[in-house]
């Protein structure tokens, strides 16, 4: 797989190259995928609270729109730069195609430190950014969403600004909105829920009875705690969870609702009565069927991969497994459900939000989760089939499914010669 010593943009290019070669596709597929079709860099001027003018740099990438309008988050962070935005838009293309969403990949952001901005400054900056890119976004063109340091309130200001520019309410131009202005039920739980549904379908594919399985989860935040709750709801036994202060373990299974209530009071899971303490690193090596790293990147490395005893690893976090560890786990026959699929519940429910906005008809949470289950299940199946057909890791197989679909779309649209 892609050399992890490269920068994210070069790594994304290498992953596309490998997929095009494995599938024996026309070289033009790679030529079209190796960079965004369109990339915008904009100066975003805004007035500080003290009346001075400051200009930040904003970006928006449309990587590939063969399958539909581009879709992807907006990040506000000092490290945002052109290469990062391009790479993230490439990953979004893969994610959307893999999940069967009628979208291409996009991404954007502003190089800024939101912690240095007042609430009013954040609002002015968000509105100015939308003014700068208004002509290249829209519900049938490119649909942003929240990412690092952006949230439903920022999406609300942005949809308001865009609607003012257009002179009409255009809720479908952005997702991750507050419920009252066209957000979707289930959006907050989407990533954790989708992760668990993906892992459960993976278990089914390799004949593990999910209801008899033991689960360990590193990270008990938005993703980890929702996945833990869904796991117990769907009949598995969650024997360990952890947060940054450490973990808790109970071989008979933890009462996750009770652990959540405990965490609300004590801020961490450590000290929870019906459990033994366990170090964060040891959570990863427990004798469980399913391991879910849902905290940080690079926690499964060449050092500990050999000691992982789970049969399925569901990557809730982005990039929790290093490339060396990935190879070790593949040799051991551990099924690593890659982040690109495992944490795609968020973008899938974003898609549902956009569909509901276009229809102006809103679904219940139950309906959202039912459709999420269908889409995660289909993606797991397609990836698993590709894994069996080519004898490659699930991560590589995920790229093969996605690139094959995008290439088909580009071919019938007449982009390839």
Q: Which residues are catalytically annotated?
A: 107
Find the shortest distance in angstroms from Cβ 410 to ligand NAD: 27
| Structural tokens at position 383 | 């990836």
> What is the CA 307 to chain-centroid distance, rounded?
27
Is the CB of residue 340 less than 8 Å from the CB of residue 398?
yes
Find the shortest distance in angstroms from Cβ 222 to ligand NAD: 4
Report residue 232: phi and psi, to 5°.
-70, -40
Is the CB of residue 145 less than 8 Å from the CB of residue 156?
no
Q: Which long-range contacts (CB under 8 A, 24 or more apart) does 285-289 make?
A: 285/309, 286/214, 286/216, 286/239, 286/240, 286/249, 286/310, 287/214, 288/213, 288/214, 288/215, 288/216, 288/239, 288/240, 289/203, 289/208, 289/213, 289/214, 289/215
- The DSSP bridge partners found for residue 62 are 38, 106
Find the shortest distance in angstroms from Cβ 48 to ligand NAD: 29
Nearer residue to ligand NAD within complex by CB, 18 or 108: 108
Binding residues for ligand NAD, rule: CB under 6 A, are 191, 218-224, 242-244, 280, 294-296, 316-318, 343, 346
Report residue 177: phi and psi, to 5°.
-80, 160
Is the CB of residue 121 less than 8 Å from the CB of residue 48?
yes
228 vs 234: CA distance, rounded Å = 10
Count of positions (residues) in the chain: 417
337 vs 279: CA distance, rounded Å = 24
Find the shortest distance in angstroms from Cβ 368 to ligand NAD: 15
Find the shortest distance in angstroms from Cβ 190 to ligand NAD: 7
Nearer residue to ligand NAD within complex by CB, 132 or 322: 322
| Structural tokens at position 43 | 């100066």
76 vs 405: CA distance, rounded Å = 31
Question: For residue 38, with 0-12 CB atoms within 10 Å meaning exposed, 13-18 middle and 19 or more buried, which class applies?
Answer: middle
| Structural tokens at position 189 | 């739980």
Nearer residue to ligand NAD within complex by CB, 20 or 192: 192
Find the shortest distance in angstroms from Cβ 53 to ligand NAD: 33
Find the shortest distance in angstroms from Cβ 191 to ligand NAD: 4
Map tokens 């459990």 to a residue.
275
């Amino acid at each position: 797989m892609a050399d992890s010593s490269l920068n994210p943009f070069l790594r994304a290019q290498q992953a596309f190259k490998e997929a095009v070669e494995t599938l024996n596709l026309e070289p033009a597929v790679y030529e079209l995928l190796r960079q965004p079709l369109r990339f915008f860099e904009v100066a975003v001027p805004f007035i500080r609270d003290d009346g001075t003018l400051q200009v930040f740099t904003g970006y928006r990438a449309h990587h590939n729109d063969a399958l539909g309008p581009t879709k992807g988050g907006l990040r506000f962070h000092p490290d945002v730069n052109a290469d990062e935005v391009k790479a993230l838009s490439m990953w979004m293309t893969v994610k959307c195609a893999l999940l069967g969403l009628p979208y291409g990949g996009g991404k954007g952001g502003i190089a800024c430190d939101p912690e240095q901005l007042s609430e009013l400054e954040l609002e002015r900056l968000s509105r100015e950014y939308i003014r700068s890119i208004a002509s290249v976004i829209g519900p049938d063109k490119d649909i942003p969403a929240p990412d690092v340091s952006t949230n439903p309130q920022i999406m609300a200001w942005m949809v308001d600004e865009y609607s003012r520019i257009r002179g009409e309410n255009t809720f479908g131009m952005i997702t991750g909105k507050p419920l009252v202005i066209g957000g979707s039920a289930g959006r907050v739980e989407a990533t954790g829920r989708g992760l668990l549904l993906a892992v459960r379908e993976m278990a089914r594919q390799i004949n593990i009875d999910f209801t008899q399985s033991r689960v360990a989860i590193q990270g008990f935040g938005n993703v980890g705690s929702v996945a833990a709750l869904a796991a117990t709801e769907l009949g598995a036994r969650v024997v360990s969870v952890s947060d940054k202060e450490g973990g808790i373990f109970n071989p008979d299974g933890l009462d996750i609702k009770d652990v959540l209530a405990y965490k609300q009071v004590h801020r961490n899971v450590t000290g929870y009565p019906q459990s033994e303490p366990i170090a964060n690193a040891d959570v990863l090596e427990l004798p469980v069927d399913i391991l879910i790293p849902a905290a940080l990147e690079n926690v499964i490395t060449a050092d500990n991969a050999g000691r992982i005893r789970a049969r399925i690893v569901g990557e809730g976090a982005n990039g929790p497994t290093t490339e060396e560890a990935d190879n070790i786990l593949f040799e051991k026959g551990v099924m690593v459900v890659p982040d690109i699929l495992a944490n795609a519940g968020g973008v899938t429910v974003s898609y549902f939000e956009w569909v509901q906005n276009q229809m102006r008809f809103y679904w219940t949470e139950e309906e959202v989760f039912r459709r999420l289950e269908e889409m995660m299940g289909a993606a797991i199946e397609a990836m698993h089939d590709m894994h069996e057909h080519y004898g490659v890791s699930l991560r590589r197989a995920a790229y093969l499914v996605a690139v094959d679909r995008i290439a088909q779309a580009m071919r019938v649209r007449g982009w390839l010669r």
